[in-house]
Amino acid sequence: MENENPKVDIPKSVVVILVVLAVVVSVLGTWTVMNQVSTVPVQASGAQGNPTQTARVALTVKNPVTVQTTGRIAFTYESEVS
């Protein structure tokens, strides 16, 4: 059945060349993508930081031994004017 119209149909050898070319292109494309991925300056695995971090807050309250405050006493002496 496949040889009923050989002048119109594309030769199978051409098809095979095209198919092989498709395979080669596909392989090269995949290799290129993988190669590019490996050059990304981020480690692909284990790149996450540790999600749990610890910090420290310190406060020292120094209770004063003594506190003081001051007051005022005043008066004005004004003798009787004669």
Partner 1 sequence: MEDISNRTLATLLIAAIVVSLAGTLTSLNRLSRLGISGRGTTETGSTNVTVLNALSITLTENSVDFGVGRVNDTAVCANRGFANMVSGDNTYNDVTECWIESSGGSPATGFIVENDGNINASVSIRGPTNAHFFESYSGSNPYGLWWSANSSDDGCVGWRNDSTYIQFDQNDTLCTNIVWDNTLNDDTLAVMVNITVPKDLPDGDYENTSITFYAVQAS
Q: Which two tokens stand for residue 28?
A: 């090269």
Q: Does 82 bind partner 1 (CB under 8 A)?
A: no
Alpha-carbon distance of 19 to 11, in angstroms, equals: 13
Cα dihedral 6→12→14→20 (10° resolution):
170
- C-alpha span between 28 and 53 (Å, rounded): 44
Q: Which helix (H) or strand (E) holds 56?
A: none
Q: How far is the CB of 9 from partner 1 (least distance, A)?
A: 10
**Footprint of partner 1 on 3-42 (CB under 8 A):** 11-13, 15-16, 19-20, 22-23, 26-27, 29-31, 33-34, 37, 40, 42
Q: Which residues bind partner 1 (CB under 8 A)?
A: 2, 11-13, 15-16, 19-20, 22-23, 26-27, 29-31, 33-34, 37, 40, 42-45, 47-49, 51, 53, 55, 57, 59, 61, 63-80
